[in-house]
């Protein structure tokens, strides 16, 4: 019987060998192929949000670029103002003493650690989610304001002040000044922060100013402050330009009317998204600001003060990366610009968690 089948199918030794070979190949290759496809699927999932963020950011950049370049709505007051009407300096025309409606005087009181950096984060009343995201992520380096890094959120008055008082009962990190919280009052916010620093955090060595949509990579910040500690005694450091032109397009977020700034150029500025300096420079800016007329763009205003003081703007690499990812740039990154709440948490969890934590 067997012999008949054998004869009928004419299976030779060679065919049997081939059959065995094919079986072995299939049984080893198939799981391998299956495994690799599964792996790349999960990798793909991980990378899609990065791509998502990158394209979202690119779109935002193009929108910004468009508003910067379309001069369709040029300021009509352009012809009315003489270019020399507003001086760079005055005699006490911007004397401002802020009252703190919410204060946490004790934040910098410490006997056991010296305070290296005070981080001041300008925030808007409605941005509680952003503040919480920051508190839960990169601000954990500040050890609930007990370590050598301290921080405060800077806010102004609004109908939400009561809610902020409640928030502050839990977090004890809000400083609220007696001025209306508005984008065009950012200069007030910064100066209020400076006043607070000079009154209640005199012993901090360095001061950083940043916003509530920023990711600050604290190891990077600590590194650049160490590397630039000398120059920061006489300069503001960050993503600084040595010269810039006012934007006269009324649709721009950074619009400056001829009335508010008649001159053709700014004396540069360090992007308000994040800059650092020493407490000494902060004190000097506070003092000179009385004689420097108000200007609504706070980073430019700081630069106008720096110019009057004869100090410098100092470019430091790593500030204001648009799509910075800690994993790739762990050693060079300082700040990342325009980080939405969810992305803040994702960046921290997947890419930026402190190495010693894991």
Ligand X SMILES: *[C@@H]1O[C@H](CO)[C@@H](O)[C@H](O)[C@H]1NC(C)=O
Entry field: residues in the chain: 358
DSSP letter, residue 347? I
Minimum Å gap between C-beta 56 and ligand X is: 3
Which residue lies nearer to ligand X by CB, 244 or 340? 340
Regarding 179 and contact with ligand X (CB under 6 A), the answer is yes
Which burial class, exposed, middle or buried, applies to 124 when counting CB atoms under 10 A from its CB (0-12, 13-18, 19+)?
Answer: buried
Regarding 62 and contact with ligand X (CB under 6 A), the answer is no
- Pick one of 71, 80, 89, 180: the residue that binds ligand X (CB under 6 A): 180
Give the x-and-dash track for 236-275 against ligand X (CB under 6 A).
Answer: ----------------------------------------
Minimum Å gap between C-beta 285 and ligand X is: 20
Piece of 180-188, 217-225, 263-271, 306-314 that binds ligand X (CB under 6 A) = 180-188
Instruction: State how far the Cα of 301 lies from the Cα of 307, in Å rounded to an integer.
Output: 10
Helix ranges restricted to H, the chain: 2-9, 13-69, 128-136, 161-171, 186-200, 218-227, 279-288, 298-309, 326-329, 341-346
- Pick one of 84, 97, 112, 114: the residue that binds ligand X (CB under 6 A): 112
- Pick one of 60, 69, 70, 265: the residue that binds ligand X (CB under 6 A): 60
What does each C-alpha distance from 24 to 14, 21, 29, 30, 344 come to in angstroms? 16, 5, 8, 10, 49
Which residue lies nearer to ligand X by CB, 284 or 338? 338
Collapsed DSSP state (helix, strand, coil) of residue 121: strand
Q: Give residue 172's region: left, alpha or beta (phi > 0; psi -120 to 50).
A: left
Footprint of ligand X on 66-105 (CB under 6 A): none
- Burial profile 279-292: b = 16 or more Cβ within 10 angstroms, e = fewer: bebbebbbebbebb
Residue among 213, 219, 229 at smallest CA distance from 318:
219
Which residue lies nearer to ligand X by CB, 60 or 229? 60
Piece of 8-16, 51-59, 228-236, 258-266 that binds ligand X (CB under 6 A) = 51-59
Piece of 16-24, 55-63, 92-100, 123-131 that binds ligand X (CB under 6 A) = 55-63
Question: Where does this chain bind ligand X (CB under 6 A)?
Answer: 53, 56-57, 60, 112-113, 146, 179-180, 182, 184-185, 338, 340
């Amino acid at each position: 019987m067997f012999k008949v089948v054998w004869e009928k199918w004419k299976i030779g030794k060679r065919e049997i060998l081939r059959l065995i070979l094919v079986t072995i190949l299939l049984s080893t290759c198939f799981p391998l192929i299956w495994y690799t496809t599964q792996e790349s699927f999960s990798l793909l999932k991980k990378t899609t949000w990065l791509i998502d963020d990158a394209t979202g950011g690119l779109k935002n950049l193009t929108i910004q670029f468009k508003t910067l370049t379309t001069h369709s709505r040029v300021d009509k007051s352009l012809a009315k103002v003489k270019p020399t009407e507003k001086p760079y300096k005055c005699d006490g025309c911007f004397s401002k003493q802020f009252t703190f409606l919410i204060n946490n005087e004790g934040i910098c009181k410490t006997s056991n650690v010296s305070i290296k950096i005070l981080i001041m984060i300008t925030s808007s009343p409605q941005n509680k989610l952003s503040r919480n995201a920051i508190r839960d992520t990169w601000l954990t380096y500040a050890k609930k304001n007990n370590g050598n890094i301290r921080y405060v959120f800077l806010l102004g008055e609004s109908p939400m002040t009561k809610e902020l008082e409640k928030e502050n009962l839990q977090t004890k990190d809000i400083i609220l000044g007696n001025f209306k919280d508005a984008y065009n009052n950012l200069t007030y916010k910064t100066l209020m922060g400076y006043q607070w620093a000079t009154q209640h955090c005199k012993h901090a060595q360095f001061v950083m100013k940043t916003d509530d949509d920023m990711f600050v990579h604290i190891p990077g910040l600590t590194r650049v402050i160490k590397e630039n500690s000398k120059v920061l005694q006489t300069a503001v450091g960050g993503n600084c330009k040595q010269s810039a032109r006012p934007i006269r397009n009324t649709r721009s977020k950074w619009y400056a009317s001829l009335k508010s700034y008649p001159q053709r150029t700014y004396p540069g500025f360090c992007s308000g998204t994040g800059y650092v300096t020493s407490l000494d420079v902060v004190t000097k800016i506070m003092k000179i600001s009385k004689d420097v007329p108000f200007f609504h763009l706070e980073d430019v205003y700081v630069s106008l003060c720096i110019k009057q003081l004869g100090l410098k703007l100092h470019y430091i690499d790593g500030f204001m990366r648009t799509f910075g990812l800690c994993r790739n740039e762990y050693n060079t990154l300082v700040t990342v610009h325009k980080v939405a709440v969810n992305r803040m948490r994702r960046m921290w969890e997947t890419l930026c968690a402190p190495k010693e934590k894991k």
